[in-house]
Structure 1
Amino acid sequence: MDQLLQWLLMPGILISLVFSALFSFKSRRSSDARTRAIFSARMNISMGIMLLFIALVQLFLSGESTLRIVIGAIFLVLGVFNLFAGLRNLSIYSSPRS
């Protein structure tokens, strides 16, 4: 069971890492403020997903030490915060202009 979780979580971490770096690069290279904000929101979403995957690895695939559980919980909270902040910002900046 641990092997299956490892094969599911590790590619998720790597894919979200690539998307996070890609959107960060696009955000920094963009000259338009609205486009920069959209790419930044997508970067936050990708980073939130990556932190959630890392938290799942810490919580389920590691030994049952208190330190790992605390670190996993911190990553879980940060990941959820980044995910929701990115989704909120994406909905704000993707809406058509009035």
Structure 2
Amino acid sequence: MDKSQSQDTECPAEAMLTDGSSTKELPFMIMFIKYLLFALLVIFMVCAAAYSISSRRTADPLIQGTRRSIMNMLLGGMLVTLSLMSMFIFRGSTLNVVIEAAFLLLGLFNIFSGLRSFSYYSRMRSGS
């Protein structure tokens, strides 16, 4: 058996990965998603802190409630982003999956309750 035949039959999985298909771009896409999620996490954190500070400095309770509901939605987005980041970073042990699911559900609940309170305060501000 010559050298070229032994390379072809040694590992067919390597041949599938190096055949020029789009599987080479997969690690790049995963890294891109990780960095995108990290950037979203930082944006959500900074915006939530800004809305928290601005809601405490205003005197009008309707504006306060509106800003706190926006802050609640941003914190929910932060929890959802954190759970998605942990899905990409850690491998799926049972404890990790349970914690990721808890963060995801808690984040979705925060987004939902923030939307509800935002609609309540916006109706109160419009007077209807």
**TM-score normalized with structure 2 length:** 0.73
- d(CA) in 2 for partners of 1:11 and 1:60? 15
Which residue number corresponds to residue 16 of structure 1?
A: 44
Shift of 1:65: 1.6
**TM-score normalized with structure 1 length:** 0.93
Counting only pairs closer than 5 Å after superposition, residues 17-96 of structure 1 correspond to structure 2 as 17-95=45-123, 96=126
Shift of 1:61: 2.5
- d(CA) in 1 for partners of 2:96 and 2:86? 6
Q: Percent identity?
A: 39
Paired AA for residue 88 in structure 1: R
**Structure 1: segments with no counterpart, 5+ residues:** none
Q: Contact between 2:34 and 2:88, CA under 8 Å: does it hold in 1?
A: no
Shift of 1:60: 2.8
Shift of 1:82: 0.4
Question: Over aligned residue pairs, what C-alpha RMSD do you find?
Answer: 1.0
Provide Cα deviations, 1:68-94, integer angstroms capped at 9, x if missing partner: 111111100110010000011111111
Which one has more relative contact order, counting CA pairs under 8 Å at least 6 apart? Answer: 1
**Structure 2: segments with no counterpart, 5+ residues:** 1-28
Instruction: Indicate whether 1:97 and 2:117 are aligned.
Output: no
Regions of 4+ moved over 2 Å: none
Paired AA for residue 3 in structure 1: M
- d(CA) in 2 for partners of 1:71 and 1:56? 11
